[in-house]
Amino acid sequence: MKKRILLFAGLLMLPIFILADHHKNLTARDIEAMSKELSNWGRWGADDQKGTLNLITPQKRREAAALVTEGISVSTARDVLKTVATDNPHPFIHTMERLGPQWNTDNYSVDYHGFSHSHMDALCHYLHKNTMYNGFSGDEVTETGAGKLDVRNAKEGIFTRGILIDGPKLKGVKYLEPGTALYPEDLDAWEKMAGVKIKSGDAVLLYTGRWSRRDELGAWSGSAAGLYASCARWLKERDIAVIGSDTGSDVNPSGIEGFTSPVHMLMLHAMGVPILDNLELERLAKQCDELNRYEFLLTVAPIPVEGGTGSPLNPIATF
């Protein structure tokens, strides 16, 4: 009888193991299904262009402002990269001019999307099957700019509670190696380790140690530590407003054939979550450690470009 009971228990547990492992082996079909399951289309109306920025309510802003108790501010932007490198094929261009004997002036030019410059992705940045967030047609984007979902929808700024997820601290390493994936159980473990709970309207910043590794070993391209796509469901359950990282948030390679950037797809296209890419989070991680505090006020002010797909920026964390 014992053998039969043990066998039966084992059979009952088998599907549990299969389900537990499935979130690490998603397929393109799973991503398509998740895009419907996690969708915020229509949540704030058929004409909504703000997406999850709607979650940053006046009350949320007041709560975020109350987090400022130390008066310490930390930039989360990397200094602009002016030289060509493996991860920076389009360097920031800065030219100086002199206007007569009194005035110095200069000109900036930057191709900011990519793996080098700190920037924000507006919701019009990602197309899937010629649609954008909330069902707007890809045809809204022309050579003159995006007719819907452009960066001006964040013109009033992002002012909310920020949470740092410190990947190297969680894993006990100096930095996460390129290609290292974090899964939902890692996010659960971080909440427990840091003593924080991510809530509706929060901005979540993932620190991988990308710039520390670059400074030590040199530039690279083609791979990055980041979130595996199954984390999107976890983030939707927390109802976050903004996601950011010192890479592009996606683990690269994604591990999902047919989707090179599934987290981008699920955030920008399905959920309407703006993304902050290529932040420099070393100093923020150090400050969080010193204060033993992983929540702060985050302020983000993109350049309001009509039709713009995003903006270079310098987000500030304040304690």
19/39 Cα distance (integer angstroms): 22
Q: What is the DSSP string of 183-215?
A: -HHHHHHHHHHHT----TT-EEEEE--HHHHHH
Give me the helices (H) in 51-164, please. Answer: 58-65
Flag whether pLDDT at 94 surpasses 80. Answer: yes
Q: What's the pLDDT tens digit per position in 296-313?
A: 999 999 999 999 999 999
* Domain parsing of the chain, residue ranges: 27-80+118-318
pLDDT category, 190, cuts 50, 70, 90? very high
Averaged over 68-74, what is the pLDDT? 98
48/41 Cα distance (integer angstroms): 8
For position 21, what pLDDT does the model report? 63
For position 61, what pLDDT does the model report? 98
Flag whether pLDDT at 2 surpasses 50. Answer: no
Flag whether pLDDT at 105 surpasses 90. Answer: yes
The gap between the terminal CA atoms of the chain, to the nearest Å, is 62
pTM over 0.85: yes
Choose among 250, 239, 232, 240: nearest CA to 33: 232
Which is more confident, 222 or 171?
171
> What is the dotted CATH code of the domain comprising 27-80+118-318?
3.50.30.50
Averaged over 211-219, what is the pLDDT? 98
- Residue identified by tokens 């990602």 is 126
- Residue identified by tokens 């302020």 is 299
For position 14, what pLDDT does the model report? 42
Averaged over 110-128, what is the pLDDT? 97
Q: Which two tokens stand for residue 290?
A: 């010193």
For position 101, what pLDDT does the model report? 87
pLDDT category, 23, cuts 50, 70, 90? confident
